[in-house]
Amino acid sequence: MTTELTDVETVHDERSWLFTARDPYGEPEEVILVPCEEGVEAWVNRCTHEAQQLDRGFGAAMRDGRIICPKHGSMFDSCSGYCDNGEAAETTLVSVDVTVEDGTVYLDDATYEFSHEGGADDDGDDDDDDMPSSTSHIGL
């Protein structure tokens, strides 16, 4: 089953587009869409050296067609996911299958089920509904 994600123009304009999917065990997995010469590629949002997010919710750092790990500076080719430098050298990001039709990007990977746009913590479920938004009502 394919799921519509966003359009190619948005990915190119914003440098990256973050979404969360569920893996086969139902666990959340963040995925980033990034521009490349061939259009758009999708990668699990995690550096191969450490479990560092490449996109922390405000766009992945990119330079010259490469995704930059914010922790150690390793640079991954946005089209192949391969890193040839830094702590993550000789590794490749985990790919996620997407397709593009008429400028729209679709999740096309049977391993993942789309959950929502944004990071795993951006699911719209406010776990603090029972807590006051401020403690200013407390008197001493």
Per DSSP, 102 falls in state T
CATH code of 23's domain: 2.102.10.10
* pLDDT the model gives residue 123: 61
139 located within any domain: no
Residue 38: which domain range?
Answer: 3-117
83 located within any domain: yes
11 located within any domain: yes
* pLDDT the model gives residue 127: 46
| Geometric angle at alpha carbon 32, from 66 and 54, rounded to 5° | 60
- The amino acid present at 18, given as its one-letter code, is L
130 located within any domain: no
Three-class DSSP category at 40: strand
Cα dist from 30 to 37, 53, 63, 107, 114, whole Å:
23, 9, 21, 13, 10
Look at the chain and report how many structural domains it folds into: 1
How far apart CA 74 and CA 89 sit, in angstroms, is 7
Helix extents (H) in the chain: 8-14
Residues of the chain with pLDDT under 50: 126-140
| Geometric angle at alpha carbon 21, from 110 and 72, rounded to 5° | 115
* pLDDT the model gives residue 126: 44
31 located within any domain: yes
**Lookup result for tokens 């990119």:** 62
Question: Global pTM?
Answer: 0.85
27 located within any domain: yes
